[in-house]
Structure 1
């Protein structure tokens, strides 16, 4: 369980963008209330350790991760190491007092989640930060190393994603703002269009979401949320309906086929395998020419938009791309 194993997932779930405003508002209110009382109020354990299933995963993990890191413990009743690790993680969650939430997933009852995270064995521990998946470690580990990893997780969440909130109960009704809490900022000029994009995503209308983001960008080409949303919505639309086994088999059988490699790279990114997606397309650029090379290069640039130019993996991939192009 070393920090080098911690690599951020490729795709921010777009539901997290929608939930971020509400989640951050709750966090601000909680911090203000704690400050007003002269210290950090204790967070109830019921808000720190939760059981999560497939039906509630988006709400309990993805949306909540817009406010505070969510650590996921994949376990099973028959797993002896899980019985040792689980109580330790629960204790550390309580000690952290809201700096992260522990979500426990029974893999026997939630096979789809296990497959989506690519888990080969349990216990396996991941985190989700601002909608992005972060593999932490697999198997049992000494408490000191687990503490170090969780401390690094909190640091990453604060420094890179600005998540300085504390866990709050998502079921709590929004009360009046605490004394000293500023009123919400007025609506921006594109809020209605961005809401329309999120509504389309909620309805499974990826084409509608793409168009809504394009409507924002038509007036403001540099709008960051719309650019990110468009890149992600287009990626989700491309992978919708794909058969992962068939796509990966085709890519393995046709290493120089740009269409096969591009499709597999999209799946890599959606699955959180950022370096694999980038490396696959850089290799495709290296072994192709003409229109095939341009197709792979352009898709790689599109995937850079999904991750964001400030991500170090994008910088590394840009350097690799330049080497094969020139």
Structure 2
């Protein structure tokens, strides 16, 4: 992609997030409180740090009144976003305080993902004085990354008077580790569910994830884990040859198509699994149609709502239903 010509015409409306003036006011209040308390408002951070929905206001909005914040939306499963993140973090050290990098895991922070209007990863934004602007969508070579960062730094200084703070060698990549926080009961339960899944105890994992969701119905990580565990549990004793033979012999047999779709997904054939069930919905009516539709929605949970294959399959399902 070509580097953007930095301008305020690219500013993103952050809706529920705070505006620049409020961010500045809160930052000043935090510094004043820190002075009264005899310590910093928050633990010292390196030039590249993780941000969550809970810490976004403090670590990005407030900090953006003092230094340009480059927000990197990434996921461990995306090689391109991991590679771009490595480049940004290395350059953050090289630029030594003229900008910082805030990492946002898209799977763990869906609200931020949606509020920024991210269409896919990698996606990189800048936040200056509480205002956001897009920098990259997709991978970019390092020379273009440098050019955009140079433009960002110039805009920050010329339009906002934000210049960052010099960082001594060694401070750019390391910071004192915060004191460990005791795990909550929900986190312990979720960890136990993950361990059961990793150890192949699918029944135990299913029950453990259900326990987490009973107390926290909106827990996205538990929903994903439950969907994965239930899928693996369904296919663990399946005769793959017999399942596929039955599905090929009778395209109108909803249960046969559902069983084959499970195998497709486990085998990595995501589009095939989705297409098979969309076709099953198209061919059927009543309870059978609803059965196929519900299983398709369950498989969407396994892959994740932000995956483009899920988006395409949702559109296909809507065309069939409506």
Give TM class, smaller chain: 0.3 to 0.5
Bigger radius of gyration among the two: 2
Larger relative contact order (Cα-Cα within 8 Å, sequence gap ≥ 6): 1
The two structures have a TM-score, normalised by structure 2, of 0.47
The two structures have a TM-score, normalised by structure 1, of 0.46
